[in-house]
A and B are shown apart, each in its own frame.
Chain A
């Protein structure tokens, strides 16, 4: 990113406005291509006479959403809150545990295997239990989201912290840096690129967790809309729910990527 600015006395403010403009431009381009793809899909469906039972025309799906927007908007907001809550808590916990494991080797050897075993349990099996524990609440969905999120974050945090240049650590120590200063001034910033790789993955997983959580019983949410569509064999409703899910997933991923671009502006150079 900053490679294009070599030797020009441009500084952060300019780089930042560029960083903010570029995603906007990309967003517009993305919208354009989405419209093209939808138009082509529409054309092909009409051309080959695909039965709406398999794939309805995009215009019909969009029309269905616009005809009764309330459940979709409500579902979107509900699932978004669950996902965000699960994602944020999973990210914080994942980073925290990563740091803890990095600093306390013995603890890591003790607990890490348990984490791995916990991750091999399919989330579906776990979901029933969570609903028992937390009842049919937003927290229950967020908990499942959290469960899917924290582990990749922990692993990558650990990876990033252990990948710090030992010569840079030596330099910091020669300044008399405490272990805390070492962490805040060198190790965490160095690990940020790795951490964000996991956060992008986790943003997608968090949405899966929230949707699955809703299948264990709820009245609002995109997962609920999917289930209702399925029971009523309402193909258009299913596709409409899928479209809104895609919007939510892409939006989250894009948001995480944008924060990454802004925070990890130096890239993974060195």
Chain B
């Protein structure tokens, strides 16, 4: 198996509303296994749009997307859902926890969807992840009982539950103060160092970016 976890070939995307305009222009890039990559750029340059394409949630684009050398472009909604479930972990700026479930169940849910392990095993793994994030004593709380930083840590645990090929983040520290931002960075850093986890994180925080392995800079829909 090759070392490339993620690769794009000539990705372009247009928005048609209110006028036709090209957000992404022929983007070709790749992310290797174990890399901690950050994407930086001015607000509005297309970072989020790119991440949505890479995450397989947005399928309206030109060009090709490969995950683990496998062509993703053109797959059905169902196949893409399976890929997201199994191979990609997400952390968004907003935490997006399900308010009906407690912390532990929120973390377990993608694992239960994957259905490869028993509920007991998934629960064990979820507890382990919460432990490494120093959240095990919050496991039975509901999301609305947590602080912003805690919620983001739960979201990270949820992203980790299926041992994804890559974790993508769209400004995961955007809503957090300096102290919590640092903590999230430390968690990411620890994941690459100790577990060889591949990470692709969009950020506008230059401190954060400077501490990653590689910085991809975008401008006007292009990588420079």
Chains A and B come from one and the same complex: no
Binding site for B on A (CB under 8 A): none
